[in-house]
Amino acid sequence: MTFWFITLLLIPDLVWGWCLPLAGSTACPAFAQYYAGMSKPAFDWLQPVWNITAFDDAVHNYVQTTFWDQFNCTTKPYYARYTMSVICQLIVNENDDSEKCNAMYQVSPPSLCQNTCNQQVQAVKTLVQSQCQSTMPSTTLSNYIDTYSQQCLVDPALNATASCMLGMVNEPDYCGFPSQGDGCTYCQSSAANGDLCCSKIACDGGDHGLSKGAIAGIVIAIVLCLLLLVAAVFYYRRSKSVQQTHYQSADDRTETACVGEKLSTAPSFLSRTDYQTHDTITPAALRDTDSVGLISKLENEFHTVIHQYYPSQPDELSLKKNDIIVSTVAFDDGWGVGVNITTGQKGAFPLICVTPASREVLDWY
Ligand SMILES: *[C@@H]1O[C@H](CO)[C@@H](O)[C@H](O)[C@H]1NC(C)=O
Ligand SMILES: *[C@@H]1O[C@H](CO)[C@@H](O)[C@H](O)[C@H]1NC(C)=O
Ligand SMILES: *[C@@H]1O[C@H](CO)[C@@H](O)[C@H](O)[C@H]1NC(C)=O
């Protein structure tokens, strides 16, 4: 019993000075590095809040419902532009507890720009007149709204004109309006008059032509189509060149063709001991198997053609640069027997014209 009594007495002390970090808040994202004092918070409805999720829920609920009670509304307007920014300011900047918290963590939140405050008051006025159906007599209501407007002049948390926080920083979507439609109606009206926030909102057509978002979408679509077209043409030409240009012009033969002396040079991927230097360039393997030795082990059975080869005998493979050859047999006279899987041909080919295929090539196939 005594224990519980003492604990109950201590609770206020434990709770005193409790600071809620606003990091991760969706209602007050611009205040992420600041703190809300929660022992004696700026609003009573913050009392039961113990974490940022509950904080956000409480703020959202307040600005959409309870906020309108002060005007004695019978039907509640949905949300007045930048009200969340105003409420966040009052919580963080207009409360002794919060002031202590922010001082303790050595941060000083900026006040709201007076311009944003005026825009909020203007939105409140419009909504009260059009949607609130207040029970107050009209003169009382208009006096109350005048008093409410005064906060933009006299409240230090809301009346800053320099180094201040703009509403669009805390509510970057839709210019502080509850929906894109509302934001666009505003941005396309003369009231917007170059309001910076309008550059952040994508609005459809109307008399203003295509929005930036729509234009960006169309440009992206066109670029994608062009890329697909280029890819298709590339792929078509690639398969076509494999099929049809295998014996192209005589000019091709001079440049990188695998002819003459090259054929008697040892391929780099065969060890010296495996290789006999032969003067002949004919593939002995297929004609005179007694005169050549089999190289038992080829490191890699996939090879990429690095030099063109134009067959001089019917049993020889035609090789074009980048063809893939699967060779299972190689002979020490520098010739191998395999299948050109790019063309489907089978036959003998000079090993010097190919090199073991790289990983990327194998992945491609
Ligand atoms: C946050 O606090 C509320 C009560 O205020 C509780 O219901 C909820 O589970 C808490 N959420 C987390 C993530 O702690
Ligand atoms: C407005 O509502 C409050 C209660 O929310 C009430 O006390 C007050 O009398 C009302 N004022 C008018 C003028 O109806
Ligand atoms: C803001 O309000 C304070 C307190 O009423 C006042 O001293 C200050 O001059 C006001 N600032 C501006 C820019 O109006």
Q: Is the pTM of this model over 0.85?
A: no
Share of the chain above pLDDT 70, in %: 70
CA of 74 to the centre of ligand 2 (A): 11
For residue 140, pLDDT beyond 70 = yes
In angstroms, rounded to a whole number, what is the distance separating the alpha carbons of residues 176 and 234?
49
Q: Residues with Cβ < 8 Å from 251, sequence gap 6 or more?
A: none
pLDDT band, very low/low/confident/very high, at 103 (cuts 50, 70, 90)? very high
Write down the pLDDT at residue 298: 62
Per-residue pLDDT reduced to its tens digit, 298-351: 666 788 988 888 888 788 888 888 899 887 678 877 888 888 888 888 888 888
Domain edges within the chain: 2-172, 211-260, 272-364
Report DSSP letters for 1-48, one per residue.
-HHHHHHHHHHHHHHTT-EEE-TT-SSSGGGTTSEEE-SS-SSGGGTT
Indicate the pLDDT class of residue 12, thresholds 50, 70 and 90.
very low
pLDDT band at 207 (very low <50, low <70, confident <90, very high): very low
Comparison of pLDDT for 162 and 253, the residue scoring more: 162
CB 156 less than 6 A from any atom of ligand 3: yes
> Residue 62 belongs to what H/E stretch?
helix 52-64
Q: Any bridge partners for residue 73, and if so which? A: 134
- pLDDT tens, position by position, 36-63: 999 999 999 999 899 999 999 999 999 9
Point out the ligand 2 atom lying closest to the alpha carbon of residue 134.
14
Whether 271 lines ligand 1, by a CB cut-off of 6 Å, is: no
Q: Which of 365, 331, 323 is nearest to 351 (CA)?
A: 331
Q: Alpha-carbon distance 312 to 315, whole Å?
A: 9
For residue 211, pLDDT beyond 60: no
- Give just the sign of the alpha carbon dihedral 117, 123, 128, 131: negative
Q: Is 136 in the pocket of ligand 2 (CB under 6 A)?
A: yes
Ramachandran area for residue 237 (φ above 0: left; ψ -120 to 50: alpha; else beta): alpha
Residue 175: CB partners within 8 Å, gap ≥ 6?
A: 81, 168, 183, 186, 187, 195, 197, 198, 200, 201
Whether 291 and 343 have beta carbons less than 8 Å apart is answered as: no
Backbone dihedral region of 193: left (phi > 0), alpha (psi from -120 to 50 degrees) or beta?
A: left
Looking at per-residue pLDDT, the higher value among 108 and 223 belongs to 108
More confident call, 334 vs 273:
334
Of the listed ligands, the closest to the CA of 141 is: 2
Domain 272-364: which CATH class? mainly beta
Write down the pLDDT at residue 346. 86
**Computed over its alpha carbons, how large is the radius of gyration of the chain?**
40
Are 157 and 94 contacting, i.e. CB atoms less than 8 angstroms apart?
Answer: yes
Structure tokens at 153: 């002049």
Q: What is the pLDDT of residue 255?
A: 47
Is residue 308 in contact with ligand 3, taking CB distance under 6 Å? no
> Average pLDDT over the chain, rounded to whole?
80
Residue type present at position 75: T
Q: For the packed helices 52-64 and 83-93, what is the interaxial angle rounded to 10 degrees? A: 130
Residue 169 burial class via C-beta count within 10 angstroms: exposed 0-12, middle 13-18, buried 19 and up: middle
Which tokens belong to 182? 């509302």
> For residue range 231-268, what is the model confidence (pLDDT) as tens digits?
766 666 655 554 444 444 444 444 456 665 556 567 77
> Would you place residue 208 in the very low, low, confident or very high pLDDT band (cuts 50, 70, 90)?
very low
322 and 332 in contact (C-beta within 8 Å)? no
Query: Which two structure tokens, joined as six digits, stand for 129?
Result: 């007149």
Query: Of 9-23, 174-188, 276-290, 319-333, which gets the smallest average pLDDT?
Result: 276-290
- In this prediction, residue 58 carries a pLDDT of 96
Cβ of residue 72 lying under 6 Å from some atom of ligand 2: yes
